[in-house]
Amino acid sequence: MEGTWYDRTLARSLRLRRQAPKPGEVDIRQTVVLSPLPCWKHLAPEVYRSRVADLLRGMEEAAAAEREKMGIEPLGAEEILKQDPETRPEHLDRSPAPLAHAATKRVRRELREAYGWFLAAFREAADKLRKGDRDVAFPPGSFPPHLPFVPA
């Protein structure tokens, strides 16, 4: 598969230096080679295509079932093309970003707990430093105030 990659960083750099890009300098032809999934590499091409089609069919059926469950009708290509791409939603649901992204509540709880221990150790070390103890040990991975980084 072939396409053109436009190097916006280079184009901007040239514009700032008031230089015009040479042909092919910022719009570069790229070739992407699509390879079979490693786990299905051994399959004949028609079997491979059949398995990929089965996967897609399964995803489409799952999406259709989810839409039906939620009572959502698909827009369709014509309605999508009618939409103005510059339109912004009238209301956005805003919520604070999580402290950490995790796959399970258990992992999220462990991360929060580990961060709590790190923060307590950092604050204790910073307090000792404020009181004049220059040999205080900061936790690994921290940036002590007015001292070099402590590698993890």
> Is residue 77 scored above 90 in pLDDT?
yes
> Is residue 115 scored above 90 in pLDDT?
yes
Q: Rounded mean pLDDT of 51-59?
A: 97
pLDDT band at 98 (very low <50, low <70, confident <90, very high): confident
> Is residue 81 scored above 90 in pLDDT?
yes
- The pTM of the full predicted model, rounded to 2 decimals, is 0.42
State the Cα–Cα distance between residues 148 and 117, nearest whole angstrom: 21
Domain residue spans of the chain? 1-34, 36-76, 102-152
> Is residue 24 scored above 90 in pLDDT?
no
State the Cα–Cα distance between residues 15 and 21, nearest whole angstrom: 8
